[in-house]
Amino acid sequence: MTVRAFYAAGTWRTGEGSFEVRSPYDGSVVAEVGIPTEADVEETVASAAETFRDSRHLPVHVRAEALAHVSRRLQERAGEIAESVAREGGKPIKWAAVEVSRAVSTFRWAGEVLRRGDEEFVRLDTEASLGPRAGIVRRWPVGPVLGITPFNFPVNLVAHKVAPALAVGAPIVVKPATATPLGALVLAELVDETDLPKGMCSVLPVPSSVAEAMVGDDRFRKVSFTGSPAIGWHLKGLDPRKRFTLELGGNAGVIVHSDADLDHAAARIAIGGYYQAGQSCISVQRILVQSEVHEDFVERLVKQVQSLKVGDPLDPATDVGPLIDAGALDRVAAWVDEALAEGASALSGGRRDDPFYEPTVLADVTADMKVCKEEVFGPVTTVQPYQTFEEALAVVNDSRFGLQAGVFTNDIERAFQAHRELEVGGVVINDQSAFRADQMPYGGAKDSGFGREGLRYAMEEMTEPRIMVLSNLPL
């Protein structure tokens, strides 16, 4: 098998040695990818720093057209790229296609935000002592960006780091998950087709130890990390002065109140908890149901969950694919077995069928069980009753995480109450927690991290405002 090259400092290279990317479904070798050398890494970082001297001054039309080109090419190659996502990560092809379509809009949105502009005119003649003055506020990129991405969205999570960086004129070096590096390499191909400087985007499939050293490199002025809390906070501690965006996962709570459409809630939760074998940081994990409708809703939910098709990711009918590797499968199985031993009951699933874990609904859970207090990151949800809406809000908040939450209710006052009280980055009304539109601000609180992605918001995170004060104006 030909070694797949990586993209470093504007050139395609194979480095020294290689590693295999294997399908989580059947273990077949999907690709063999070259490993960057120490010299490759150094040249790439140096190139990003050098490129920044000029890239921050690139005209808007150059950056916007590059983003539009990547968006168009993603659309043209959508079928091919979706199949690659399904093969390397085990994501069902129906959801892989959705991911690619989202990446198309992610790059399109970045170009639209860029063309819209962000300049601000500020009146400064607000006091007699200030005189006839005004200010123009513009945003400037802080410097080269290091983007570190996880396995579960190998195209669109990379896009959410690359697109805003290119939009603001900041060179970016991407360290993709070595389990799923192919999506990032495809994006590098498409950026390479544009007129942007060749040092604007590099993809280095290096080990985590090398990425850690890169975080500490002073030439990177911004790090955007998506992954586990333990790793994210560790990396942040390496350089407290450096700008970070951390998206560190969660154990999302979803509230189903008695006034909700129960069929709609059950159908949407069955998707949100299992569509990617639960391997999404905003996947539904904890379901809280008002006691008056608890039994009725649980019956509907279990029926929906049991209708999900588990199987080959390339089968268009498959809803739930395999977990990413044997280690993840072992962990999920161990946590469920532990919960069952401690008194939980499985209303559906509760068993492994390698490389899959059956879509599982657990009842009779307690707050101290791992399946409730930690991030399962697998096809497992818990369901429990509550009496009052305030009680449900408190249970959702009783977590070290705070990324997103869902609330099913037709009462506008409860919707606003949830928005006010829930300690999360996003509250989704009448849908499950896994909803995300790519232009919306996305990020969390508490151990779920800080900072926001979502094009305009990510662009703000990668820039800083600078005011120019104009004096003696005929205002």
Q: What angle do CA 321, 180, 351 make, to 5 degrees?
A: 30
| Of 158, 381, 430, the residue nearest 275 (C-alpha) | 381
Give backbone dihedrals phi and psi of 341, rounded to 5 degrees, phi first. -65, -25
Residue 372 falls in the annotated catalytic set: no
């400037």: which residue's tokens?
140
What's the rounded Cα separation, in Å, for the pair 174 and 202? 6
The DSSP output letter for 309 is P
Handedness of CA 347, 351, 356, 362 (dihedral sign): positive
Q: Where are the beta strands (DSSP E) in 108-228?
A: 120-123, 134-141, 145-148, 172-175, 201-203, 222-226
Residue 25 and residue 321: Cα distance in Å, rounded? 8
E strands in 171-301 = 172-175, 201-203, 222-226, 243-247, 253-256, 286-290
Distance between CA atoms of residues 191 and 210, nearest Å: 24
Phi, psi angles (nearest 5°) of residue 126: -85, -15
Pick the catalytic residue: 43, 99, 201, 281?
Answer: 281
Answer yes or no: are the C-beta atoms of 45 and 173 closer than 8 Å: yes
Q: Which two tokens stand for residue 152?
A: 């579960």
H-state helical runs in 208-260 = 208-215, 229-238
Burial of 317: CB neighbours in 10 Å, binned 0-12, 13-18, 19+: exposed
CA 207 to mean position of chain CA atoms: 20
- The dihedral sign for the CA sequence 420, 425, 431, 437: positive
Burial group, residue 80, by CB count within 10 angstroms (0-12, 13-18, 19+): exposed
Q: Among residues 438, 385, 341, 475, which one has the least CA distance to residue 105?
A: 438
CA-based end-to-end distance of the chain: 69
Whole-angstrom distance, CA of residue 433 vs CA of residue 408:
10
Establish whether 201 is a catalytic residue: no
**151, 22 Cβ separation under 8 angstroms:** no
- Nearest CA-CA partner of 255 in 406, 132, 148, 68: 406
Q: Name residue 363's beta-bridge partners.
A: 345
Catalytic residue, candidates 247, 358, 460, 461: 247
Which tokens sit at 445? 């609180």
Is the omega angle on the peptide bond into residue 355 within 30 degrees of 0, that is, cis? yes
Residues serving a catalytic function are 247, 281
